[in-house]
């Protein structure tokens, strides 16, 4: 799910930029009153500002959702995709956004070349042998209806609450009840895309020490009520290790932008694991050199994704970060106080991340 929603609740943390008195008392007083949530400075540097209207190479978007509410909106989205260079988009089924799967199938049936459908697990009565059998049959039926993968599963600590028609409360991805479903995914050649946890700042104290405070505060995770981030990472790692024939895609860099060496170690260990970069521009582009190195080293394991609606500007921002050498710019809707710098990725890496890795998973895996 996207993470740049407008802030609704922010601690009154002040930027104490300048406390000395000077001849301009008013200016100092104003600096003392700027809230972190309001801090989006104008860039004054005379440096390149690049607008990327269209991706340099064809794009497969491996992480999006059923945002349109009418045929007209689907048609409008296709026009945007044509303009920005997106060949096709994965519509991930998820309890948070969109219609029941049968309706999704119907809505996108005329546009099979432009949208590929992904479905959830059905956990109804999963504790019983009959319920499990039904769930396996549902998976086969969705596959026959056109589902190419599973997702977006989503576990932020309480289990796979993204599931439909019932939440998988308490059901983590390494749960023994899920194992037959993961085996079925391998058999049907359906990759499994899963959102694990949240960016690390959302687990830290909401005070002046929290580097990601402006965006972390509204998404704060209370771990007294659910599993913490690294516990969830362990459940994911267990599943990836114990189901080597199943392809797993960790959404949003596994929410591990803060610890790329650990993410790299997991990718080294598990050839059946991939990451998508959806909705983590701000979390990656404040550490552009480390992220660039990571993306180049793991260029065969990274998938492009958006997860942020249908606007052309949303695509432009992501292309700018991947393709250009721009530095020190702000995108206020990402909600962090920090400036971003782009990755300037080589062409051969862009081609793979934009398109070829996804194409390989969706075709050669079959
Ligand atoms: Zn999503």
Domain boundaries, the chain: 45-364
Distance 154 CA to ligand 1 centre (A): 9
| pLDDT for the residue numbered 3 | 43
pLDDT tens by residue, 296-355? 999 999 999 999 999 999 999 999 999 999 999 999 888 899 999 999 999 999 999 999
Q: Which DSSP letter does residue 355 get?
A: I
pLDDT tens by residue, 281-300? 999 999 999 999 999 999 99
Q: How confident is the model at residue 23 (pLDDT cuts 50, 70, 90)?
A: low
- Give Cβ neighbours of residue 87 (< 8 Å, ≥ 6 apart): 58, 59, 60, 81, 114, 355
* Res. 16: pLDDT tops 50: no
**What mean pLDDT value characterizes the chain?**
91
Q: Express as a percent the part of the chain with pLDDT over 90.
A: 81
Distance 64 CA to ligand 1 centre (A): 6
Of 216, 215, 275, 212, the C-alpha closest to 240 is: 275
Indicate the pTM of the whole model: 0.92
CA–CA gap between residue 128 and residue 135 (Å, rounded): 10
* Res. 210: pLDDT tops 60: yes
* Res. 36: pLDDT tops 90: no
Distance 65 CA to ligand 1 centre (A): 7
pLDDT tens by residue, 96-135? 788 999 999 999 999 999 999 999 999 999 999 999 999 9
Distance 91 CA to ligand 1 centre (A): 9
Distance 262 CA to ligand 1 centre (A): 23
CA–CA gap between residue 212 and residue 202 (Å, rounded): 8
Range 45-364: architecture per CATH: Alpha-Beta Barrel (3.20)
* Res. 21: pLDDT tops 70: no
| pLDDT for the residue numbered 30 | 78
Distance 194 CA to ligand 1 centre (A): 9
- Phi, psi dihedral angles at 330 (to 5 degrees): -115, 145
């Amino acid at each position: 799910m996207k993470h740049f929603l407008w802030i609704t609740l922010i601690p009154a943390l002040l930027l104490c930029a300048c406390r000395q008195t000077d001849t301009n008392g008013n200016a100092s007083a104003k600096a003392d009153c700027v809230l972190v949530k309001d801090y989006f400075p104008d860039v004054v540097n005379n440096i390149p500002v690049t607008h990327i209207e269209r991706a340099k190479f064809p794009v497969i978007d491996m992480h999006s959702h059923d945002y349109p509410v009418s045929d007209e909106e689907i048609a409008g989205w296709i026009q945007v995709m044509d303009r920005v260079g997106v060949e096709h988009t994965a519509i991930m089924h998820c309890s948070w956004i969109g219609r029941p799967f049968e309706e999704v199938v119907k809505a996108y049936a005329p546009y099979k070349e432009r949208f590929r459908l992904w479905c959830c697990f059905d956990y109804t009565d999963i504790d019983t042998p009959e319920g499990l059998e039904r769930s396996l049959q549902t998976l086969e039926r969705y596959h026959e209806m056109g589902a190419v993968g599973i997702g977006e599963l989503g576990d932020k600590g309480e289990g796979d609450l993204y599931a439909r028609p019932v939440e998988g409360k308490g059901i983590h991805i390494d749960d023994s009840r899920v194992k037959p479903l993961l085996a079925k995914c391998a058999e049907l050649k359906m990759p499994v895309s899963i959102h694990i946890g949240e960016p690390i700042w959302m687990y830290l104290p909401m005070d002046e020490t929290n580097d990601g405070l402006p965006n972390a505060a509204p998404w704060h995770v209370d771990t007294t009520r659910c599993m913490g981030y690294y516990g969830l990472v362990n459940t994911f790692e267990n599943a990836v290790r114990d189901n080597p024939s199943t392809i797993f895609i960790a959404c949003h860099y596994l929410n591990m932008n803060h610890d790329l060496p650990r993410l790299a170690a997991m990718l080294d260990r598990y050839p059946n694991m991939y990451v998508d970069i959806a909705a983590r521009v701000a979390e990656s582009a404040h550490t552009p050199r480390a992220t660039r190195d990571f993306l180049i080293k793991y260029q065969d394991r990274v998938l492009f994704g958006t997860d942020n609606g249908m606007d052309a500007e949303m695509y432009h921002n992501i292309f700018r970060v991947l393709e250009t050498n721009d530095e020190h710019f702000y995108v206020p809707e990402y909600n962090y106080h920090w400036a971003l710098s782009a990755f300037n990725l080589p062409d051969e890496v862009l081609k793979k991340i934009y398109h070829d890795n996804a194409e390989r998973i969706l075709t050669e895996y079959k």
